[in-house]
Amino acid sequence: MMKNLLRTAFEKRSSLFEVTDAFRIVNGAADGFPGVTLDKFGDRFQVQFFGPEMLSRRRELVDAVSRLFNPVCVVVKERLSRSGKSLENAPMEIALGTREDAVGIVREGRARFHVDLLDTVNPGLFLDMRHVRLEVEERFRALSGAAQSGEGPRFLNLFSYTCSFSVHARLGGAAVATNADISGKILDKGRENYALNGLDLRPGEFFRGNALEYVRWACKKGLRFDGIVLDPPSFARFKGFNFNVREHLMPLVSECAQILNPHGFFMVSSNYSEFVLDAFSRDVLDAVKSVHKNARTAWKRGQDIDFAGSGSTKDSCLVATLVEVGSRL
């Protein structure tokens, strides 16, 4: 029974097979597995428990995954305490394979990314932003093709994590893709992803610090970007500053708009479960319009097709919107 449910869930994602080998196979109750997610990262699989509903069937689930997919490695993470509280430092177990087996490479379109299922809660690639990353690459391909002369189109990736957006931007033809993140360790992983994709490291592409600090510095220096991605965590702390997405996001959007070129694009997203897509998209547009009066919303959306039932649980939420300034590419 469980194996059949897994097979059905896997086949629902068939349209992604040619695009990537990293996607979500099970997204909780919508796929018949309440409180459970199953992510595929190439030959490595990650099982996460966000609720107690199926904890007693943990071994059965791992066995079914092993029989159906023949994985190199299966890692299980419990994202809640026994009292039901969400855990950021989730207990992890290698249910199949070794520590070395948990490390590998996945493909996404033309890009390749390092993953490590045991490094942190997230292995190094946020699956629910795949469709936006691929679009960023296509937009820079169009921008670079339309460029007349000069330095070429520039991209800014705020809260960059392992720099996956920037890899796609550079593969699309961005002359410079700048990454800002508070973690030096994470930026090192971004450099590794650049190297994996044959991308040279260019001056100004890696900035360790908070996003607001970088945006204000860039504004003073007169830097401008043709594309900006702002995908912050719900909460972050850096040098005594506590970033709260509900309080600080829209003012940051307005400041970012000041360094956006007149025909650029700006994607803003959040996994904060209290945001509502329509209101979020409207607020982002208003913030950009405070600088660029002709800004328009190109799209607003949630998670991709592998996140069935997106928005029905706090652990599967995404609001994302893309604003264009000037004419459509």
Please give the class, per CATH, of domain 127-324: alpha beta
User: Strand order in 22-27's β-sheet?
Assistant: 22-27, 36-41, 44-49, 73-78, 92-96
- pLDDT for 148: 56
pLDDT at 328: 44
Q: Which residue stretches of 122-261 are H helix?
A: 130-146, 164-172, 184-196, 211-221, 245-257
Structural element, H or E, at residue 198:
none
Asked if 78 contacts 47 with a C-beta cutoff of 8 angstroms, the reply is no
What is the pLDDT, as a whole number, of residue 79?
86
- Which DSSP string do the residues of 226-289 spell out, in sequence order? EEEEE---SEEEETTEEEEHHHHHHHHHHHHHTTEEEEEEEEEEE--TT--HHHHHHHHHHHHH
Calpha distance 24→21 (Å, rounded): 10
The residue among 24, 140, 4 whose CA lies nearest residue 67 is: 4
**Which residue ranges in the chain fall short of pLDDT 70?**
81-88, 146-150, 238-241, 327-329
Burial of residue 73, with CB atoms counted within 10 A of its CB: 0-12 exposed, 13-18 middle, 19 or more buried: buried
pLDDT for res 21? 97
Pairing of β 176-181 and β 103-108 = unpaired
pLDDT number for residue 240: 67
Query: Which architecture characterizes domain 2-116 according to CATH?
Result: 2-Layer Sandwich (3.30)
Instruction: Please state the pTM of the whole predicted model.
Output: 0.94
What's the first-to-final CA gap in the chain, in angstroms? Answer: 48
Helix axes 277-289, 245-257, angle to 10 degrees: 40
Beta bridge partners of 228: 156, 266
Give the orientation angle of helix 164-172 with respect to helix 130-146, to 10 degrees. 30
Domain boundaries, the chain: 2-116, 127-324
